[in-house]
């Protein structure tokens, strides 16, 4: 079997679009991958086309060899855009291997250690009152976790421009944590995403104030460029910290794992180098008793890859799942992983267990462009979205 073609498939989907990759073979078996940096999709597409020169004509089963070629042949570390391109191609190659062998990807990763993977949804709303109602609604529909993010000054979080001053945002976030905990009770897990919107001092203050509400974790309390800052934060707070979605290879995870400054590794399979690299980071984290909580804000291919990794891994805390599989992008992906009562699971189909309708993809073709929303301080300075 040989790879014959690699195609980038950017489509209109969700708030920011979707970026998929299809790898075809001369045996008629194809695989699907997905890339993280959607709004940089034109750059990712060029990177995919560039890397395709290393993969077309090769045996798709040699995933480790191909990963090393894609990462090393450019000499400079393949982070950011190139890591997203590697991720999408690598995931698609694993999908091909599973389909060709008639086995789910999790079987190729060592076989299932669990029957299903607990997930958390995105609970977002324009006000605290609406947020509490949205969290309660998710719990009533069977979710075991709820998750939302640090609000701006108006109490909102998500795809909106706004003004965010740390002291006010922390006050609102603490109030929301208290209100949600009271509404959902003690048995529902709370995940709170700071979304890198705070510096160390304000993040520490927030973590100390919400400790009484027993959060499952505080996600991305700081930006990711300097992992040493997580060491400073971890020494001053007593809540679990989750981070890693912005790190694009095992070396960037190294310090946080070895210093044990995070409790949950937020590996993004579509940005960290695909299944090949994500599995290595997962097993490395296991040696430090760190669970994974994969970052998965994207589409059905990303969701399926996350389910495969979590199904075959011992050290799993929770998998991000913004919406229940099968309830979104069902026209584009008529076959997706299973979901019930807050858990996602493989239904035993070969590969990732996801299929794409190329006619729909063509009809929704899109040229990626743009930026994420601009969030500012009250003085007009740009801050983290």
The confidence score (pLDDT) of residue 240 equals 98
Say which CATH topology domain 107-352 has: TIM Barrel (3.20.20)
pLDDT beneath 70: ranges in the chain: 158-160
Q: Name the architecture of domain 3-103.
A: 2-Layer Sandwich (3.30)
> Which ranges of the chain would DSSP assign to H, the alpha helix?
41-55, 63-72, 81-101, 105-108, 128-140, 166-184, 200-210, 228-234, 250-258, 274-286, 300-311, 358-363
Which residues are registered as beta bridge partners of 35? none
| Other Cβ atoms within 10 Å of 220 Cβ, number | 26
pLDDT at 332: 97
Q: Would you give the end-to-end CA distance of the chain in angstroms?
A: 44
Task: Give the pLDDT of residue 154.
Answer: 84
Closest residue by Cα to residue 182 from 143, 229, 131, 227: 131
**Domain boundaries, given as residue ranges, for the chain:** 3-103, 107-352
Give the pLDDT confidence score for residue 158 in this predicted structure: 62
pLDDT of residue 344: 98
Residue pair 329/130 in contact (Cβ under 8 Å)? The answer is no
Point out the residues that are catalytic: 195, 295
Query: pLDDT by residue (tens digit) across 98-133?
Result: 999 999 999 999 999 999 999 999 998 889 999 999
């Amino acid at each position: 079997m040989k790879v014959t073609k690699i195609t980038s498939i950017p489509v209109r989907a969700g708030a920011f679009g979707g970026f998929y990759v299809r790898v075809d073979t001369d045996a008629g078996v194809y695989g699907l991958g997905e890339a993280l940096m959607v709004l940089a999709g034109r750059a990712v597409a060029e990177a995919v086309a560039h890397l395709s020169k290393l993969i077309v004509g090769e045996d798709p089963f040699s995933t480790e060899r191909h990963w090393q070629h894609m990462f090393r042949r450019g000499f400079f570390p393949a982070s950011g855009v190139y890591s997203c391109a590697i991720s999408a191609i690598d995931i698609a190659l694993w999908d091909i291997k599973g389909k060709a062998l008639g086995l789910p990807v999790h079987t190729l990763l060592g076989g299932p250690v669990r029957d299903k993977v607990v997930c958390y949804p995105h609970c977002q709303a324009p006000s605290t009152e609406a947020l509490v109602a949205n969290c309660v609604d998710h719990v009533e529909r069977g979710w075991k976790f709820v998750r939302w993010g640090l609000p701006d000054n108006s109490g909102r979080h998500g795809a909106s421009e706004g003004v965010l001053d740390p002291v006010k945002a922390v006050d609102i976030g603490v109030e929301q944590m208290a209100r949600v905990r009271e509404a959902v009770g003690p048995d529902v897990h709370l995940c709170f995403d700071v979304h890198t919107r705070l510096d160390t001092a304000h993040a520490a203050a927030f973590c100390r104030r919400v400790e009484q509400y027993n959060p499952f974790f505080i996600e991305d309390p700081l930006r990711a460029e300097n992992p040493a800052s997580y060491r400073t934060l971890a020494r001053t707070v007593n809540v679990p910290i989750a981070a890693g979605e912005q790190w694009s290879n095992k070396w960037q995870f190294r310090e946080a794992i070895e210093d044990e400054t995070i409790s949950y590794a937020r590996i993004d399979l579509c940005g960290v180098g695909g299944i090949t690299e994500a599995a290595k980071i997962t097993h490395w984290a296991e040696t430090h008793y760190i669970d994974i909580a994969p970052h998965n804000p994207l589409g059905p291919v990303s969701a399926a890859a996350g389910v495969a990794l979590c199904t075959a891994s011992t050290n799993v805390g929770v998998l991000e799942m913004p919406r229940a599989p099968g309830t979104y992008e069902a026209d584009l992906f008529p076959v997706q992983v299973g979901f019930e009562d807050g858990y996602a699971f493989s239904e035993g189909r070969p590969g990732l267990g996801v299929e794409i309708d190329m006619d729909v993809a063509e009809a929704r073709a899109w040229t990626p462009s743009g930026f994420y929303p601009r969030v500012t301080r009250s003085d007009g300075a740009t801050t983290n979205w």
